[in-house]
Structure 1
């Protein structure tokens, strides 16, 4: 299957209320180019605070399904992307509007902190 078709098909997954994983930098770049409002949760399987906010990312994807796309990115599998965005601590949730980084929230914050950033960017 053509990789670009696979990526496009993944967009619909977030509309069901769950944040899916970005596989690589090419996929991230395509999302940044094509999505007006994108939320990316930089996470790792070994990160306790990341597990704490995972349900918040799914809730964001569900609550704002018509307005934003929410994705997760495994830090261990995508170190060049972490370097590109100077990610030194996780969880790190990056908010992009029209391909441009607008806000970064670091740490295990309450859901309201994430949703208020989204509301401010809409």
Structure 2
């Protein structure tokens, strides 16, 4: 199950510093139709892969707008849904892997890559 992100870009950096192995951030919003289309699929994968080593974190951009806006200015994402993956030791905003959009095949490939990080 995904944890809910609360905070700003400093809280995000703190999570990266405490990364146990792999962090996956899913940027979403309640009003986003593509986000809602993949929500159940992604949530089931997050529930399956969440462990001591892999932490899945959901970021509602309406509640963490500072982080979302900052990530957009740094060209880390264009819109939502977007998922970003960070390996342990990566303490900057640039992810080790990412995906944008609601294509189930691409989401599945991304989850597989995250499991093998």
Query: TM-score interval w.r.t. the shorter chain?
Result: 0.7 to 0.9
- 91, 94, 99: which is aligned to 1:105? 99
5 Å-filtered alignment, 1:23-42, equals 23-25=6-8, 26-35=10-19, 36-42=21-27
C-alpha distance 57-31 of structure 1, shift in aligned 2 (>3 A): farther
1:52 CA drift (Å): 1.8
After superposition, give the CA deviation of every residue in 1:73-92 in whole Å (9 maximum; x if it has no partner): 11122222113322321100
Q: Aligned Cα RMSD in Å?
A: 1.8
The aligned length equals: 104
1:60 CA drift (Å): 2.7
Extract structure 1 runs of 4+ deviating beyond 3 A: none
Residue 79 of structure 2 corresponds to residue 93 of structure 1: no
Give the TM-score taking structure 2 as reference length.
0.76
1:104 CA drift (Å): 1.2
Residue 61 of structure 2 corresponds to residue 75 of structure 1: yes
> What is the aligned partner in structure 2 of residue 54 from structure 1?
39
1:99 CA drift (Å): 5.0
- 94, 111, 114: which is aligned to 2:110? 114
1:112 CA drift (Å): 1.6
Contiguous gaps of at least 5 residues in structure 1: 1-17
> Hey, what's the Cα distance between the residues in 1 that align with 2:81 and 2:16?
20
Q: Which has the higher contact order (CA 8 A, sep 6+)?
A: 2
Give the TM-score taking structure 1 as reference length.
0.73
Contiguous gaps of at least 5 residues in structure 2: none
After superposition, give the CA deviation of every residue in 1:25-78 in whole Å (9 maximum; x if it has no partner): 243222211122100000011001111222233223222222310011111222
Residue 10 of structure 2 corresponds to residue 19 of structure 1: no
